Amino acid sequence: MKTALITGSGRQAGLGFEVAKQLGAQGYQIIIAARQSAQVTERVAELKDLGFQAHGVVLDLTDENSISQAVNAVQQWDSKLDVLVNNAAVFGDFTSVLETDIKNVEAAFNTNFLGTWQVTQKFYALLANADTARIVNVSSGAGSFADPVYGILNGSMGMPVSTYALTKLAINGLTVKMAKEFSQDNVLVNAVCPDVVNTSGNDTGFGRPVGEGAKSVVWAATLPDDGPTGGFYRDGQPLPW
């Protein structure tokens, strides 16, 4: 059985948990990872009620000790990790350069960029133990220079280029670096934009259904061994960087 860990999967209506359910339906053992232990317990119980094999870990991307403890927990359930979905993120400020609080910038980069990097470092030995593994870095078209709808060049839907967008720009670059370095261990690494998704749990009409956005992530998590690496995709189609 293949094992997948999804960070930021504690919210019931969130993208991460939807990815967990879709991978569980494909026969993966799921490891829920989130900062709040109550959320972890609830989501694991829901997955088990669906008939999926599931575990959970409390994981704070900004806390090295928390990540190490999570790695130790995962090793109790499996000697390898087939899929790591780096989904956890915070939005940060959507304000101008001059108005943005640099402390908020630091907090966003610590979670979205450095947290993703550190989680990947800590779990890499388990990924390398798999015959072939997949890393999916959940990114955004807002972090693209030329995405026709959300990209920095095209005005980010009329909003100031956000701190969040800049963290995703960095994630896209990190994806290329990871893909080049990890190919020696047959680890495929790709960035995925799920598009704007409705994670409110309500029928707000804003954003596509979370299940549709999750399909993009699941596509990258289940690529064949000869699949692409180092790319940036939405709905399985390449996006401009």
How far apart are the C-alpha atoms of 41 and 179, rounded to whole Å? 33
**pLDDT, position 95:** 83
Total tally of structural domains belonging to the chain: 1
Find tokens 């959300």 and name the residue: 150
Is 185 in contact with 127 (CB distance < 8 Å)? yes
**pLDDT, position 157:** 59
**pLDDT, position 147:** 86
**pLDDT, position 127:** 98
**pLDDT, position 50:** 98
Could you tell me the CATH number of the domain that includes residue 142?
3.40.50.720
**pLDDT, position 138:** 98
Mean pLDDT by 10 residues, the chain (241 residues): 97 97 98 98 98 98 97 97 97 83 95 98 98 97 87 69 90 98 98 89 74 97 98 96 89
Give the residue numbers spanning the domain of 91: 3-238
**pLDDT, position 155:** 59
**pLDDT, position 217:** 98
Name the nearest CA neighbour of 228 among 146, 123, 131, 219. Answer: 219
**pLDDT, position 159:** 63
| Three-state SS letters, 168-207 | HHHHHHHHHHHHHHHHHHCEEEEEECCCCEECCCCCCCCC
**pLDDT, position 204:** 61
